[in-house]
Amino acid sequence: MLTSIKTNEFAGSESKKLAMMYFRVAIVLFGAQLLMGLIAAIQFLAPGFLFEVFDFSVARMVHINALVVWMLYAMIGSVYYMLPDETGIETVNIGVGKLAFWVLTAAVTVVVLVYIFIQVGSGTEATIWLINEGREYLEAPRWADIGIVVVVLTFYWNVFATYMKGQKTGIMTVMVANLMALAGLYLAGMFFTDNISMDQYWWWWVIHLWVEATWEVFVGTLAAYALIKIIDAKREIVEMWLWIEVLMLFGSGILGLGHHYFWIGTPEYWWEIGALFSALEPVPLVAMFVHVLYDWGKEQGIAKAEGKPGSVMKNGPAMAWIVTNAFGNFLGAGIWGFFHTLPQVNIYTHGTQFTAAHGHLAFFGAYATILIGMMYMGIQGAYGIERLKATFRSKMAIFLITFGVVGMTVALTIAGYEQVLVERADLGGGWEAFFTAQNLPWYIQAQVWRTIMGVVTFVGFIYLVWDLLTIGKQAKAAQSA
């Protein structure tokens, strides 16, 4: 992927080159996320590890921030990648796009360095502005918030202007409308209040309406684009599915926000709203799963009927990741989300490792998978490969990463289950109940398995990077031979 920047075959498409720049940073941040996760996992088992040097709170903060930022990078990269294909023209202002990339990357670097070396500040507004906002996922200090808004605005303007100038496909219409909501929602997380209930009310507007609404629709548009590119799916069918997905994702996801308003001081009527709307959130995820596999089977069947030999897939590794996405999204976001979405269950699971289990499988299944798929699409384009076939390394990467994440999820689910029953149902919560549950062998064993599976994931990540760096060159050599 690194070499592809120099010797790419994007015949004049600067937008796709810019996409590759975003993908490169994304994969580096993905690595950082995994390393921080490993540190935090070890601290659960050996609390003395880096104590008062690099505490759990710091490792965890960088872990989840690197996660969000690498995904945003890969998402922006994916948009720049598909833009010329969908609109039929080059992105209108690539110079500004590149400038925004460097500004954003510089800002992210400074923020991460401050997180790592300064960590915390005094209880003043200056800390919120310069060091750390201290709100899970939205820790980025206010100056960086404003910088992110400016960068995202230039990105959005670029996409919007290109859309207006070029051809307007259904995929791009959804993309442009959805991106506006995605960017606008960030503003809901940019203020300070003394009222913790008010704080969390708006905090969830950003977090939930991102990951359970706009990001999901984003994934729908990426999958639609990728299916057309990889297996020649019919645009008409793909776009119809996309509108159905938008209908169901927003229909359930927007008011599904209510499932975060059960216990933060908000009125009881949210119990019902959150319960039923969010209980329907898995439905579109089933639809997306069916859609991907059905289209794949259909296109393969047509090819067979026409007597064409071999697979219809033009990009094996990308398709593998997209199928993993279809399944992982349903399993991680859908099933694991539904596990604890009803208030009757959530009163006990809220604030336990159950949430962490869901978080791991959902972020991976719904987002990491398809974004990695888009990176393989990028490599295929960069090297001008007709058919990109999976290598041994591609297979090791997808197997180990998926196995590792599922393993972590199962381990954390067991830890969460134990917490729910011992700490919460039996002992009723509180300091002593918390540590009683943390000390039980069942909990500790689960944490050991989580750490082992974290290492498995990391080994998979090494295979992934290795593959991304080499697969293009290899395929190119094989193609010209």
Partner 1 sequence: MGTLFEPFTDVVPSFFGWLNQGPLTLTIFLHTVIILPMFWIYFQEKKKLNK
Partner 2 sequence: MANENRSVWTSISFWRRSAAWVTGFAVILLIWLTFDTLGQISMGTDADLKNKVTKRVPAPTVINYHIDYKYNAKRGHEVPVIGDKQPFFGKEWSEEEAAKLLHLGKLTSQAKNCMDCHTLLGNGAYYAPDLTKAWLDPAWQNGGPLQGMTGKNTVEEAMAEFLQHPSQYPTHARMMPNLGITAEEAKGLVAFLKHMSSIDTNGFPRNFSQAAKREQGGTYAH
**114: how many CB neighbours lie within 10 A of its CB?**
17
**Residue 276 C-beta: closest distance to partner 1, Å:** 4
CB 276 within 8 A of CB 240: no
Stretch that binds partner 2, among 193-201, 285-293, 316-324, 376-384 (CB under 8 A): 193-201
- Smaller CB distance to partner 2: residue 12 or 48? 48
**Residue 142 C-beta: closest distance to partner 2, Å:** 11
| Residue 264 touches which member of partner 1, partner 2, none, C-beta under 5-8 Å by kind | partner 2
Work out whether 301 is an interface residue with partner 2 (CB under 8 A): no
- Smaller CB distance to partner 1: residue 247 or 290? 247
Stretch that binds partner 2, among 70-78, 96-104, 255-263, 367-375 (CB under 8 A): 255-263
Q: List residues bridging with 328 in a β-sheet.
A: none
**Residue 457 C-beta: closest distance to partner 2, Å:** 19
Work out whether 384 is an interface residue with partner 2 (CB under 8 A): no
| Residue 424 touches which member of partner 2, partner 1, none, C-beta under 5-8 Å by kind | partner 2
Q: Where are the alpha helices (DSSP H) in 232-281?
A: 235-256, 269-279
Work out whether 430 is an interface residue with partner 2 (CB under 8 A): yes
**Six-digit token pair at 435?**
């540590």
Work out whether 445 is an interface residue with partner 2 (CB under 8 A): no
- Smaller CB distance to partner 2: residue 301 or 432? 432
Distant-in-sequence, close-in-space partners of 178: CB < 8 Å, separation ≥ 6:
214, 217, 218, 221, 246
| Residue 384 touches which member of partner 1, partner 2, none, C-beta under 5-8 Å by kind | none
Distant-in-sequence, close-in-space partners of 299: CB < 8 Å, separation ≥ 6:
231, 232, 233, 312
Q: From CA 224, how far away is CA 226, in angstroms rounded?
A: 6
Question: Phi/psi of residue 388, each to 5°?
Answer: -95, 120
- Smaller CB distance to partner 1: residue 338 or 442? 338
Identify the three-state secondary structure at position 388.
strand
**Residue 436 C-beta: closest distance to partner 2, Å:** 10
Stretch that binds partner 2, among 3-11, 12-20, 222-230, 263-271 (CB under 8 A): 263-271
Q: From CA 66, how far away is CA 61, in angstroms rounded?
A: 8
What is the DSSP secondary-structure string of 302-333?
A: HHHHTT--S-S-SBHHHHHHHHHHHHHIIIII
Distant-in-sequence, close-in-space partners of 267: CB < 8 Å, separation ≥ 6:
none
**234: how many CB neighbours lie within 10 A of its CB?**
14
| Binder among 86, 145, 212, 239 for partner 2 (CB under 8 A) | 239
Work out whether 435 is an interface residue with partner 2 (CB under 8 A): yes
Work out whether 290 is an interface residue with partner 2 (CB under 8 A): no
Site for partner 2 in 389-428 (CB under 8 A): 419, 424-425, 427-428
- Smaller CB distance to partner 2: residue 70 or 270? 270
Residues of this chain that interact with partner 1 (CB under 8 A) are 251, 255, 267-269, 272-273, 275-277
Burial environment of residue 159 by CB neighbours within 10 A (0 to 12, 13 to 18, 19 or more): buried
**324: how many CB neighbours lie within 10 A of its CB?**
21
**Residue 343 C-beta: closest distance to partner 1, Å:** 11
Work out whether 247 is an interface residue with partner 2 (CB under 8 A): yes
Work out whether 363 is an interface residue with partner 2 (CB under 8 A): no
Nearest one of 222, 230, 189, 231 to 208, comparing CA atoms: 189
